[in-house]
């Protein structure tokens, strides 16, 4: 079995991979849902849009469930603290997600314009709200979350739901929402043609521009006005999980210190910019599959940027910095991490192979003619 310190690093990486996988795979479904009321001008066009993601959206939810399960199993203190502090925000995500299975399954069962329009907007909510809230959550993590632990490591959250909606966090939410819309627009271009594809192209260019401007603005804001965190005492990476066994200091620009110590980490923001710019260019030229790959790398870079900036911090505390949770002291036991590591090595490749096969089988354009010919079986 790998040593404890190595497993802590491995699971920091694996949680990041799962979050990126969720954003790439379920993200394009959500992006399509966000664009649904705008790129589809009549019922047939909207059914075309829905059928681009209808057959596989629920399979992509596996990334969301697996990501949550991995955080619960690998970082139990993070899971417990985050769901205490972000309780109402997480409920809002779940309430929004409820619209998706019902909307996909029942939207086209009744040929009533009001019924179908209602579910179209329900699918919009299910696609637009989760990325916005996840971005807001990342913005709050970068600023620090108001919580602390008592001597028994019981977490106490001292903030409120409305305090989460601060300007910097909302900017991060806009970046996240635009990023997912951009990704979904490229996928929609790849699976459709004609007027729908043309409208999706315009959405891609608009959302991509918002991503680039917002990502830059967030970086400048973070550098100029958001103090970061740094460990101010010795810490044993291979030691037992105890977040109170360290001291933490806050300092301006601390979130940028990792880039000076490890210049290879600059690859994350560079990849974010390059992926989005290349995705916009390729989408404009009609090379949609390559644009989707570029967009996926852009998403990976944008999500990895706060991850490497904060490392080893996972959930900093703004009210009691010493309670901040890091990759070293918020983890499960050595045995638990080891068992999960080998289980992941077995099952993650199976998920990737099955997903690749499913997309290969369902490849091709979705057209209005297809929807009319399969009016009872299509979504």
Kindly report, residue by residue over 205-257, the tens digit of the pLDDT.
999 999 999 999 999 999 999 999 999 888 888 888 889 989 999 999 899 99
Residue 356 has a pLDDT of 87
- pTM value is 0.94
Residue 250 has a pLDDT of 93
Kindly report, residue by residue over 158-171, the tens digit of the pLDDT.
988 889 999 999 99
Contacts of residue 310, Cβ cutoff 8 Å, sequence gap at least 6: 141, 142, 228, 229, 255, 316
Residue 358 has a pLDDT of 83
| Residue 378 clears pLDDT 80, i.e. is over it | no
Across the range 278-294, mean pLDDT stands at 96
Neighbours of 55 (CB within 10 A): 16
Least confident of 31-40, 57-66, 176-185, 249-258: 57-66
Confidence band of 295 (pLDDT split at 50, 70, 90): very high
Residue 84 has a pLDDT of 83
pLDDT higher for 230 or 358?
230
Residue 278 has a pLDDT of 97
Instruction: Tell me the pLDDT of the chain averaged across its residues.
Output: 92
Across the range 95-119, mean pLDDT stands at 92
Residue 377 has a pLDDT of 63
Percent helix / strand / coil, the chain, rounded to 5 = 75, 5, 20
Residue 237 has a pLDDT of 84
Please write down the HEC assignment for all residues of the chain: CCCHHHHHHHHHHHHHHHHHHHHHHHHHHHHHHHHHHHHCCCHHHHHHHHHHHCCCHHHHHHHHHHHHHHHHHHCHHHHHHHHHHCHHHHHHHHHHHHHHHHHHHHCCCCCCHHHHHHHHHHHHHHHHHHHHHHHHHHHHHHHCECEEECCCCCEEECCCCHHHCCHHHHHHHHHHHHHHHHHHHHHHHHHCCHHHHHHHHHHHHHHHHHHHHHHHHHHHHHHHHCCEEEECCCCCCCCCCCCCCCCEEEECCHHHHHHHHCHHHHHHHHHHHHHHHHHHHHHHCCCHHHHHHHHHHHHHHHHHHHHHHHCCEEECECCCHHHCEECCCCCCCHHHHHHHHHHHHHHHHHHHHHHHHHHHHCCCCCCHHHHHHCCCCCC
| Residue 372 clears pLDDT 90, i.e. is over it | no
Confidence band of 121 (pLDDT split at 50, 70, 90): very high
Across the range 32-54, mean pLDDT stands at 93
Peptide bond into 312 cis (omega under 30): yes
- How far is residue 164's CA from residue 168's CA, in Å, rounded to a whole number? 10
Kindly report, residue by residue over 312-333, the tens digit of the pLDDT.
999 999 999 999 999 999 999 9
Kindly report, residue by residue over 169-202, the tens digit of the pLDDT.
999 999 999 999 999 999 999 999 999 999 999 9
Say which DSSP state 318 is in.
S
Residue 376 has a pLDDT of 67
Across the range 68-81, mean pLDDT stands at 92
């Amino acid at each position: 079995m790998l040593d404890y310190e190595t497993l802590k690093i491995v699971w920091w990486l694996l949680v990041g991979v799962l979050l990126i996988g969720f954003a790439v795979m379920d993200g394009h479904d959500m992006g399509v849902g966000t664009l649904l009321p705008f790129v589809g001008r009549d019922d047939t066009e909207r059914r075309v849009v829905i059928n681009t993601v209808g057959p596989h959206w629920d399979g992509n939810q596996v990334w969301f469930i697996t990501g949550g399960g991995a955080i619960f199993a690998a970082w139990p203190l993070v899971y417990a603290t985050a769901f205490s502090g972000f309780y109402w925000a997480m409920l809002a995500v779940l309430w929004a997600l409820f619209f998706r299975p019902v909307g996909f399954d029942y939207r086209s069962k009744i040929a009533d314009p009001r019924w179908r329009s209602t579910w179209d907007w329900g699918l919009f909510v299910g696609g637009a709200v989760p990325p916005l809230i996840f971005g807001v959550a990342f913005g709050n993590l970068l600023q620090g979350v108001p919580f602390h632990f008592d001597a028994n490591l019981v977490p106490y959250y001292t903030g409120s739901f409305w305090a989460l909606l601060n300007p910097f966090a909302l900017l991060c939410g806009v970046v996240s929402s635009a990023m997912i819309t951009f990704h979904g627009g490229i996928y929609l271009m790849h699976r459709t043609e004609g007027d729908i594809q043309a409208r999706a192209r315009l959405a891609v260019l608009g959302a991509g521009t918002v991503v680039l401007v917002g990502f830059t603005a967030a970086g400048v804001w973070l550098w100029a006005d958001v103090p970061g965190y740094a460990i101010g005492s010795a810490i044993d990476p291979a030691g037992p999980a105890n977040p109170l066994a360290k001291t933490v200091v806050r300092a301006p620009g601390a979130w940028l210190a990792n880039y000076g110590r490890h210049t290879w980490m600059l690859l994350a923001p560079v990849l974010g910019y390059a992926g989005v710019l290349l995705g916009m260019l390729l989408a404009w030229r009609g090379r949609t599959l390559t644009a989707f790959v570029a967009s996926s790398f852009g998403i990976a870079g944008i999500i990895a940027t706060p991850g490497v900036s904060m490392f080893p911090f996972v959930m900093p505390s703004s009210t009691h910095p010493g309670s901040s949770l890091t990759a070293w002291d918020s983890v499960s036991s050595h045995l638990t991490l080891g068992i999960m590591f080998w289980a992941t090595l077995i099952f993650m490749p199976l998920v990737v192979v099955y997903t690749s096969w499913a997309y290969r089988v369902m490849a091709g354009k979705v057209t209005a003619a297809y929807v009319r010919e399969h009016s009872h079986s299509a979504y």
